[in-house]
Amino acid sequence: MVILDPDLEERTVAPSLDQFLTVVRNGGGAVEKVDVWGRRRLSYEIRKSHEGIYAVIDLHAEPDIVAELDRQLTLNESVIRTKVIRLPDVKKPRAARRPVAA
């Protein structure tokens, strides 16, 4: 999840995020989805801002590539906050055991 400066125009958010996501693509990762939620009120004030533009990015990449993406986002002045979360692996349901015939 990325929270961007509310002074940005919302139509420029996706292209600016795409610029950062080239790190993932060049590193062999895959960007599944970029979901821009738009301008929302923050729970608490960050850098004297009460609002931010939220974007959720689903991607698959190696940990070092994700760390580099997070580093580049943190260095950008238009990014207020980032949060990287690893989703748990989806396990296949096991087949039910067949009853033992007596």
Identify the band that residue 101 occupies on the pLDDT scale cut at 50, 70 and 90: low
Domain map (residue ranges) of the chain: 2-82
Q: To the nearest 10°, the Cα dihedral for 36, 37, 41, 43? A: -90
Q: Which fold has domain 2-82?
A: Alpha-Beta Plaits (3.30.70)
Helix/strand/coil for 3: strand
pLDDT tens, position by position, 41-95: 988 888 888 899 998 888 888 889 889 888 988 898 888 998 888 877 767 677 6
**Do the Cβ atoms of 23 and 72 come closer than 8 Å?**
yes
Mean pLDDT on 31-38 = 86
What's residue 96's pLDDT? 67
Question: Model-level pTM?
Answer: 0.75
